[in-house]
Chain A
Amino acid sequence: MTSLQTPLYNLSEFPLVYEPAEDTHLFLDALEKDMDNLLQIKPVTICEIGCGSGILITALASIFKNTCCYFCTDINPQACLATKNTALLNKADIECVQMDLTSCLKAQWRFDVIIFNPPYVVTEENEIKGNGLNRAFAGGKKGRIITDKFLKSLVNILSDNGVCYVLFLKDNILVEVEKIMQQNGFCSTVIMERKIPGEHLYICKFNKKH
Chain B
Amino acid sequence: MKLLTHNMLTSKCIRGVNVGYPLSINASDVRVADVDFNPDFISRMIPKIDWPVLYNAVERLGHVEDLPKETPVNYESNEDFLKKAHHALLEVEIIHGELVCPESGRKFPINNGIPNMLLNEDEI
Residues of A that sit less than 8 Å from B by CB: 44-45, 65-69, 71, 75, 77, 80-81, 84, 93, 95-100, 103-107, 109-110, 131
Q: Among B9, B33, B36, B113, point to the contact of A66 (Cβ < 8 A).
A: B36
Identity of the chain A residue whose Cβ is nearest the Cβ of B121 in the assembled complex: A129
B118 at the interface (CB under 8 A from A): yes
Contacts of B38-89 to chain A: CB distance below 8 A: 38, 40-41, 44-45, 48
A98-B116 CB under 8 A given contacts A71-B8, A93-B35: yes
Contacts of B1-42 to chain A: CB distance below 8 A: 1-2, 4-5, 8-13, 21, 33, 35-38, 40-41
Q: How far is the CA of A71 from the CA of B118 in the complex (A)?
A: 16
Contact A104 B11 (CB under 8 A): yes
A104-B10 CB under 8 A given contacts A44-B41, A67-B38, A67-B41: yes
A105-B8 CB under 8 A given contacts A69-B45, A95-B1: yes
Q: How far is the CA of A162 from the CA of B76 in the complex (A)?
A: 23
Identity of the chain B residue whose Cβ is nearest the Cβ of A97 in the assembled complex: B115
Contact B40 A100 (CB under 8 A): no
Contact B118 A98 (CB under 8 A): yes
Q: How far is the CA of A45 from the CA of B35 in the complex (A)?
A: 16
Contact B112 A44 (CB under 8 A): no
Contact A75 B5 (CB under 8 A): no
Q: List 8 A-B contacts (CB under 8 A).
A: A67-B38, A71-B8, A80-B114, A97-B1, A98-B117, A100-B119, A104-B11, A104-B117
- Nearest-neighbour CB distance to chain B for A159, whole angstroms, equals 10
A71-B5 CB under 8 A given contacts A93-B90, A96-B114, A97-B117: yes
Contact A103 B13 (CB under 8 A): yes
Contact A66 B114 (CB under 8 A): no
Contact A44 B8 (CB under 8 A): no
Identity of the chain B residue whose Cβ is nearest the Cβ of A75 in the assembled complex: B118
Contact A131 B118 (CB under 8 A): yes
Identity of the chain A residue whose Cβ is nearest the Cβ of B10 in the assembled complex: A106
- Nearest-neighbour CB distance to chain A for B13, whole angstroms, equals 4
Identity of the chain B residue whose Cβ is nearest the Cβ of A101 in the assembled complex: B13
- Nearest-neighbour CB distance to chain B for A14, whole angstroms, equals 13
Q: How far is the CA of A66 from the CA of B90 in the complex (A)?
A: 11
A104-B9 CB under 8 A given contacts A67-B40, A67-B41, A95-B1: yes
